[in-house]
Structure 1
Amino acid sequence: MEINRPDIVAQVAAAFDAYERALVDNDVAAMNALFWDTPETVRYGIAEVQRGGETIRAWRETCEPVPRSRRLHRTVVTTFGVDYATVSTEFTSDATPLLGRQMQTWARLGDGWKIVAAHVSLIQPPQ
């Protein structure tokens, strides 16, 4: 299995960038389109848990948008072969002094790259 093939890293990075733009712009339709729409999809949020595409979509309709001041730090894209990847990033914003952490598992499916699992958390920044 080839790790971090440059063309696959570029594809996943582009999909991740599209998701980040949708997140900051609160483009719910675009965010939903980038999540795998099945009961197996899991998203662990800062203060909530969603299991399944339908639950994730319903939550997105009512959740607070992320702050427009959101900034990413130390994003790492790692690909495994041509159909599987992880993206890890840290984020900050004017809304909280805490450090955000976000991890996504991506898979190339019949209709392109999709987030199949995600986890978001906040911690005190390391000293």
Structure 2
Amino acid sequence: MAEHFDAAIRIGELEDSRLVTTRLCEHRRILCAAPAYLQRHGTPQVPADLAAHNCLGFTGLRSYPEWRLTRDGVTEAVQIRGTLISNDNEALLSAARLGLGIRRRPIGWWAPTLLPATWCRCWSPGGSTRKRAST
């Protein structure tokens, strides 16, 4: 190839409209927590309920500390707060598994073997808040 070019894979909306983009896939996320956390603090039913929860924040996304949640075609932006923020997904995963808070994670990103069988999906797009997640 005679021309040099740069390529990048990004998650989220691209601010620089001069760049040429191709959507590779949809990047949907769900909110999950350990059953022990939900037993102590309750299960959020609507996005506004997250104000009363310990949300584990991932600083690796430009959108932090905002979580945009969509269900049934309606999107709400929620400013989250919590006692742990990190740019390390493994640290946040460990904290969530220990029942320290609610974690937002991509659907299908983590292998089922990394999560306990009782991992609870506490809020997800278009779905019930009472489902047990298998991933």
TM-score with structure 2 setting the length: 0.27
Structure ranking higher in strand proportion: 1
Higher relative contact order (CA 8 A, sep 6+): 2
TM-score with structure 1 setting the length: 0.28
Structure ranking higher in helix proportion: 1
